Copies of this chain bind each other. A is one copy, B any other.
Amino acid sequence: MRLKRVVLERLMRYHRFLSQTTASKPIQTITSAQIAEALDIDPTQVRKDFGAIGLVGIGRVGYQVEDVCCAVRTVMGFDKENPAVLIGVGQLGGALLTYPGFEKYGLSITAVFDSDPAKTGRSKAGHTIRSIRSLKPYIRKHDIMLAILCTPVEVSQTIADRLVSVGIKAIWNFTPTDLAVPPDVLVRDEHISLGLSEIAYHLKQ
């Protein structure tokens, strides 16, 4: 069965926690109770999540840390290389371009695009900025499935339409708008205002 979003999120938390923990002090195994304690989750939940991705622990011992990390990475698809294009090399797009953390999740930005003639042709963080006009041919030629969208919000839907028309399968949307796409295309929104709303609401109390 397809994993739910909440499960994926918890799996990532387990993975991050175990990566951090083992980095400082190498340990072989860990119990669901230990993870639960650290992450403020019910231990049963941890075991059910692990069960959902086929992990089996051993009584009185717990789980092999190595196994857990591998299983999460495999299930998530981080071992698979995902080439992606980035569109809109401005403040945010530029920051994402330099981010070295994507690598370990299998994401590699293979081409970047902008509409600004002052930017196209120039280089940024090792990438030559291409004209937005070459977007569709590039995606078709290299069979790209993922696009990272960092353009001004006004053009987001237009670009999304183009991406869809050329067969993109997922859009990582950093622009504050709800994109309309066919059901088989995944849009993952990083709407920064959501975080802000939670913070503002908390500070108001």
Contacts and interface: CB of A to CB of B under 8 A. Distances in A.
Interface of A: 2-3, 5, 8-9, 11-13, 16-17, 20, 39, 75-78, 80, 82, 91-92, 94-95, 98-99, 101-102, 105-107, 145-146, 169-170, 172, 176-178, 186, 188, 190-205
Contacts of A76: 197, 200-201, 204
A78 B35 CA distance: 36
A117 to B, nearest CB: 21
Contacts of A106: 200
Give me the 4 closest cross-chain CB pairs, A-B, nearest first.
A77-B204, A91-B95, A77-B200, A186-B202
Contacts of A9: 194, 197
B20 A201 contact: no
A171 to B, nearest CB: 9
29 contacts: A3-B201, A8-B197, A8-B198, A12-B193, A12-B197, A13-B178, A16-B177, A20-B177, A76-B197, A76-B201, A76-B204, A77-B204, A80-B200, A80-B203, A82-B200, A91-B98, A92-B95, A101-B192, A101-B193, A106-B200, A145-B203, A146-B203, A170-B199, A172-B196, A172-B199, A186-B198, A188-B198, A190-B192, A190-B195
Given A76-B204, A77-B204, A188-B199, 13 more contacts: A12-B194, A13-B178, A16-B191, A16-B193, A20-B177, A80-B200, A91-B94, A101-B176, A102-B196, A107-B200, A146-B199, A172-B199, A186-B203
Contacts of A20: 177-178
Contacts of A170: 199, 202-203
